[in-house]
Amino acid sequence: MVPNIFKGKESLFFALGLVLLWQAAAHFSTGQHHFLFPSPTVTAKALWVSLPELLKGTWYSFLILIPGYLLAVFAGILWGILVGTTGWLQRSFSPFAKVAAPIPPTIYIPYAIALLSTFRTSAIFVIFIGAFWPVFLNTASGAAAVPARYRDDAHILGLSKAEYLWRVVLPSSLPQSFSGMGVGLALSFILLTVAELFGASAGLGRFVQYYADFADYPKMVAGIVYTGLITFVSMGLLDKIKHRALFWVR
């Protein structure tokens, strides 16, 4: 389920260039900076040694990320369709969305941890907030842009309001919904990692923070690289789902 990002030769050369630049930074760094730039080989060894711990941390992190993200997708699509197709809802909710959506979700993390009963619950809540707004805004925009003739055709065919939303508005809005889902997933990983720096006992963010506290930079960098790979694969999986769901868009 790896995305097709490395199909082109240009992408391969760029990735190779980054590795060479990393190797050069590790080779030419001096003094205390030498320890801050472990080479790709040293990092790879640390990654291999830490793999069991990282896999366990991935499981713990996904127990937080998946519920929060899926709830955000469900609520964002449902509410976006309703707001995008209902005039009075759009007029009443849009001012609130314009104020609430731009607030950085990370600002909620300390308060959510203090307010909610467990770290997992508070982290799920923060991920939900962060992923909800991109999904909602994109879906609402897509639903509002459905041509009026589709609504007229649905009325002529005798479709109920629910059937119209399910059979017409939802498929028409899905391309923009998936755009919001991509942004929401990337934000979810960012928020997950940041939240785990605050109070988690395990997880990918906690792994990086733990070894940073002990100045074990090879393992810290290995954790960063591993988190990037997990995010990369997850975004690729979402892209695969998008292409299968939007089979009519090519």
Cα separation of 83 and 169, whole Å? 12
pLDDT at 30: 60
Which residues of the chain register pLDDT less than 50?
A: 1-3, 5-6
Superfamily of domain 61-245: MetI-like (1.10.3720.10)
Q: What phi and psi values does residue 27 have, to the nearest 5 degrees?
A: -75, -40
What string of H, E and C letters represents the secondary structure of 234-250?
A: HHHHHHHHHHHHCCCCC
pLDDT at 139: 95
pLDDT at 7: 56
Cα separation of 198 and 17, whole Å? 34
Cα separation of 139 and 141, whole Å? 5
Q: Which of 100, 40, 76 shows the shortest CA–CA distance to 181?
A: 76
pLDDT at 250: 60
* Residue 154 CA: distances (Å) to CA of 118, 128, 161: 47, 34, 9
Domain ranges of the chain: 61-245
pLDDT at 25: 74
Q: Which of 217, 208, 209 shows the shortest CA–CA distance to 35?
A: 217
Asked whether 151 and 165 are in contact (CB, 8 A), the reply is no
Number of other CB atoms surrounding residue 122 within 10 Å? 23
Looking from the CA of 54 toward its CB, the CA atoms found within 13 Å total: 20
pLDDT at 197: 79
pTM of the model: 0.86
